[in-house]
Amino acid sequence: RREHPWEPGPQTPPPCLSLPASCRAKMATEGLHENETLASLKGEAESLKGRLEEERAKLHDVELHQVAERVEALGQFVMKTRRTLKGHGNKVLCMDWCKDKRRIVSSSQDGKVIVWDSFTTNKEHAVTMPCTWVMACAYAPSGCAIACGGLDNKCSVYPLTFDKNENMAAKKKSVAMHTNYLSACSFTNSDMQILTASGDGTCALWDVESGQLLQSFHGHGADVLCLDLAPSETGNTFVSGGCDKKAMVWDMRSGQCIQSFETHESDINSVRYYPSGDAFASGSDDATCRLYDLRADREVAIYSKESIIFGASSVDFSLSGRLLFGGYNDYTINVWDVLKGSRVSILFGHENRVSTLRVSPDGTAFCSGSWDHTLRIWA
């Protein structure tokens, strides 16, 4: 019912009906002005989205797997568990390799963070965090420290010392503070900066020494679950994935989102750059892994099978980028031919969900962590 000629029509209800008519009239004027601007901006956004899709579609002249038909098929794979790392008392949530291609840091639901020698399976360090669900851990490039965090909403750095008398927890340094759980963390090229992702919907870059926030990245519409830094040759960007089904590529210096991709049908649990830096893979609760090319600005492959119905929790590439390893919630690891789009192998061994997976720095092996409390090294 229209009270004044310039009051918004039935499709835009007036903001508040309980105030006196004079107040409502004034609000309606402002509302009308702002609603029109808001409406026109939303219209512009919709038409730009349409334009974005058109521009992307124009360049979609062929499929990756078609171009890859001329590539020689891969041979049979003999990949087995070569080491089993036992010692966590609960679900393993995250792991990372040291640059020395030998040491591994892992974190678990019970708050324990362990550093292992993967050659001997010996535990070299262990620390108990003051929180449970340590969802993120990372090795510093120097090999002299580790970072971790989870339900404490923080990312803390622990220097690694070989002095048996020293308590690792004593030297703990709190670096990052989010307003929700920490889901992922990674050192940049040096021990001096850490990039974090959080359930609070943001990513952030921190100075380790001072704990200062250097840059924050806003844009995800829900929890950010994962991130990966571009290979150093490609410059200062990183990719993140979240519960909003989006993968977003960011400029680390400006905080700006450069590109975003929204083709997954559920949470994106893992993102990993292709070794050349020109593409990245993602693993999602929609049971697919996908490949996005950054220069074509689109999804170029989907790795899926009707028989795979459980989410992919973690993905990583082999050294050449030809293989994509995916850890899944059905306890298996599927190995995909990245170019041809087909599965080349399925690896059994874990007795619960695979939650984390990383290829070693020299590509000789990969490590998987699971809710079955163990980590396995495959080669």
Residue 8 touching other proteins (CB under 8 A): no
Does position 52 bind other proteins by CB under 8 A? yes
Q: How far is the CB of 56 from other proteins (least distance, A)?
A: 7
Stretch binding other proteins (CB under 8 A), from 156-164, 193-201, 208-216, 363-371: 363-371
Size of the site for other proteins (CB under 8 A): 72
Nearer to other proteins, 297 or 330 (CB): 297
Please say whether the beta carbons of 345 and 71 come within 8 A: no
d(CA 193, CA 209): 8
Among 6, 21, 60, 84, binds other proteins (CB under 8 A): 60
Stretch that binds other proteins, among 163-171, 191-199, 201-209, 269-277 (CB under 8 A): 269-277
Distance, CA of 47 to CA of 283 (rounded, Å): 30
- Span near other proteins by CB under 8 A; candidates 48-56, 156-164, 170-178, 205-213: 48-56
Choose, by CB under 8 A, the member of 4, 82, 253, 305 that binds other proteins.
82
* Cβ nearer to other proteins, comparing 252 with 300: 300
What track of x and - describes contact with other proteins for positions 61 through 80 (by CB under 8 A)?
Answer: xxxx--xx--x--x----x-
23 binds other proteins (CB under 8 A): yes
CA distance 235 to 294: 13
Tokens of 113: 């963070």
**Dihedral, 36, 40, 45, 49 alpha carbons, nearest 10:** 130
What are the residues facing 273 on neighbouring strands?
Answer: 280
157 or 291, CB closer to other proteins? 291
Identify residues 286-315 at the interface with other proteins (CB under 8 A).
293, 295-298, 300
Hey, which residues between 209 and 268 contact other proteins (CB under 8 A)? 219, 257-260
By CB under 8 A, is residue 357 in contact with other proteins? no
Q: Which is nearer to other proteins, 190 or 254 (CB)?
A: 254
The contact pattern for other proteins, residues 335-354, with x = CB under 8 A and - = no contact, is ---xx---------------
Residue 282 to residues 227, 243, 279, 302, 344, Cα–Cα distance (Å): 10, 13, 10, 10, 18
209-218: Cβ within 8 A, 24+ apart: 211/173, 211/174, 211/175, 211/176, 211/177, 215/252, 215/253, 215/254, 215/255, 216/255, 217/248, 217/250, 217/255, 217/257, 218/255
354 contacts 333 by C-beta, under 8 angstroms: yes
End-to-end CA distance of the chain: 72
- The reply to whether 132 sits near other proteins by the rule CB under 8 A is no
- Asked if 366 is part of the footprint of other proteins (rule: CB under 8 A), the reply reads yes
Contact stretch for other proteins (CB under 8 A) within 51-59, 138-146, 238-246, 265-273? 51-59
